[in-house]
Chain A
């Protein structure tokens, strides 16, 4: 069973920290795009693919509206055999959702909601350039629950300019007091070229030490509230881990459709669509513009760099490598409380997640001939 990812590259406005591919929307464009996606699902050239997870990501997918989304979900079920047991997630923002739409989505088969809350402090939302308020975020989540969503996730941002341990605690308290089953907590990274990155002269982002402290505090406070960490940035109540995202990290297969969407399908490997909405819309055969991902790495390396994002870690005995050096190196990190080594399983600690690039590169080096 594969995961299916549908990219909806539209936003009402661009967030100043975002460098993902998205475009402003209008009605005609939305119609054409929904039709193009449906067509792509029906004509995908990779054979008979069955999916048990679907993720509608963006952008802001809910901007397409109930009618178009229902059509897309129907096509997805038809083409990829989704069932009631499948995990079907849609992303949204507090300002682009209401109860009616949520009810329609639930009816169309969506059973998981991911809401971009980011912070419970108004000053931080302002710094991020978000247009919703803490109150409207609360209302959006409550509306989701009212519409029948039992599996709701919220995004939380760490290292926002102006953020403190105290304000983070406030945000965590607000979220854990709501009917949520899952929380994603991302460190804000100033992507070069984004407006927020250009703004850092006026906004002081937390320094390295504070950022690390905020992250570790977040891990602790979420655990206290019953949200166990299962990935670098993801926390869930018992049994509510994102099944779709786990496919990415466990190196399972998925098909991504839409401009800039990535796929991993055997025997083709990793590939993606170009970041070009017009090309996707105008082409008779959008799969003609598929290109392989650059920077290929060998499967054991990929397995390592992906699975080490998970608290369950990686069992190196399952990789086609001699793990002696790898385990020895991991032992050095373990001495600094950066990872745990349990037999042949290596798993990073929260402190280690903060240094995952450094650790992964050091571990990968032991594989080099």
Chain B
């Protein structure tokens, strides 16, 4: 039989917490890809933040060697996929590298929004689905009901799906056998012109960028001159290899159907965009693989160092993060209120949070961020169109002919009892109701069109709290729609603070302005004089709060000539001052900037 008959390329898809990483660990263990003492729980997720949040941010791949019950040796390439909607493009490229997917469904929770979303992606990529029902050891487990649900909702046979407990190692061997029998071997022509799909890459300070590829056609070999068909960048291959569970294993070539990595003295991941096609410069392929698109930031915000002196540290940190994260974009910007900083673009809110967390944790930076914004499309009366991602650049309303904002198609899976409160929430976020699909007697899938700008703050938190955590949520960008937008400004003591400005729908402006003023009042301490907080649209004040003047601070007794107490108080006063940002004549604490981002009750 040809070599490719013994290769299986697959991924695992699951809703968050349904046990994807645990199953991956068991597969690695059983194929002894990892010596037991090297086993670290949830090996594939190797960033700290991933482990803490239980999600996979960047795809990883690992090669497993498996001797099947039929006596044949097989090569399994397990390609891990990110599990969050922010990264659905990356997910789709990982899926495109596979022939099949293990669909993990929790035996008590059943089908969830991300299960569906990822399944749809897998079906679009023509993957063979292998359903697996996990967590059968739980008391609440009901594998028969869940199997039926998978058949009803997803429409694939599931009655003979392996019933397993990845945690306890029950049924995992059956999964290995089923990978051999159910997932097709890759089609392969090792003699065709090279086409290899990039599904991930990361920067290594010794080797340069390490590119993860699935070879679709042809062969990639040592010293070969190559070209990225999307970006046009050209390189010479330096090293080729396969991904062991704990180490890279160099080899001479990778043939069609195989998964592996290469290095080519590449200095930035910008040249190795996920989804791009690698071909040989000597015998190039006629056509790139389908599906490539450039990473498009959907959410922007300003990031500023709390200590202005750390500006260059922040730049260095962003530079370093970008080496590994082609979808992170940033450019320098200046705020009157916050000084020098950067306007940064992200795939979504989770991506934003992860970048912020990494900046603070790994680079030890204290940051202030402005409210995240989506990209608005503005057409001016002179016919010019603008993409606006920063409220500061919002044009004079008199010059605006038409404004548009991005909408997403959202699907929410929920127990029926929460439909009402979910609809209230979507309605309050200007959602446009599409339809409701009954999955079974007590669960529904609700579809809405929602403005992206309304879900980037706290929609997910609000949804969770209204449904006791039972609802799941997924979305994808669908289109731009005309919208009545206004720029909402905040004035402290009569001076506009640019860092607090928002672009908001006109119908929500009044409520948002009032809320914002209230929030700021809670977080701005009393000052030496009374401070009016005003929310205004185009110079018209729509809400006002007042921070009363401070009346007294702590008076230390100078008892027995002990002036150290007084000095300590003054030190405290100075420390407190450092945590404040001077906005004109008003001192604003750092936490005010984060507090205004959480506006839902």
Contacts and interface: CB of A to CB of B under 8 A. Distances in A.
Given A189-B554, A260-B560, A262-B563, 14 more contacts: A5-B560, A5-B561, A55-B560, A187-B555, A212-B552, A232-B555, A293-B564, A295-B564, A295-B567, A305-B566, A336-B529, A355-B528, A355-B550, A357-B569
Interface in A239-257: 245, 247-249, 254, 256
A55 B558 CA distance: 14
A54 interface: no
A302 B564 CA distance: 11
A55 B567 CA distance: 23
Contacts of A358: 528, 550, 553, 573
Contacts of A272: 562, 564
Contact of B560 (A261, A333, A361): A261
Given A211-B551, A295-B564, A295-B567, A233 B574 contact: no
A354 B551 contact: yes
B570 A364 contact: yes
B551 A189 contact: no
Given A57-B559, A249-B558, A187 B528 contact: no
B514 interface: no
Nearest to B566: A305
A248 B528 contact: no
Among A55, A254, A361, max chain B CB count under 10 A is at A361
A309 B528 contact: no
A254 B559 CA distance: 13
A305 B552 CA distance: 17
A329 B85 CA distance: 54
Interface in A262-281: 262-264, 270, 272
B145 interface: no
Contacts of B559: 20, 57
Given A295-B567, A295-B571, A305-B570, A354 B553 contact: yes
B158 to A, nearest CB: 58
A291 B312 CA distance: 42
Interface in A194-234: 208-209, 211-212, 215, 232-233
B526 interface: yes
A263 B561 CA distance: 7
A361 B555 contact: no
B557 interface: yes
A297 interface: yes
B568 interface: yes
Nearest to A210: B551
A264 B561 contact: yes
Nearest to A254: B561
A353 interface: yes
Interface string A56-98: 0100000000000000000000000000000000000000000
Contacts of A187: 552, 555
Contacts of A293: 563-564
A297 B561 contact: no
Top 8 nearest A-B pairs by Cβ distance? A212-B551, A354-B552, A295-B567, A357-B553, A262-B562, A361-B573, A212-B552, A357-B573
A48 interface: no
A186 interface: yes
10 contacts: A208-B550, A245-B558, A249-B558, A256-B560, A295-B564, A305-B567, A336-B529, A354-B552, A354-B555, A361-B573
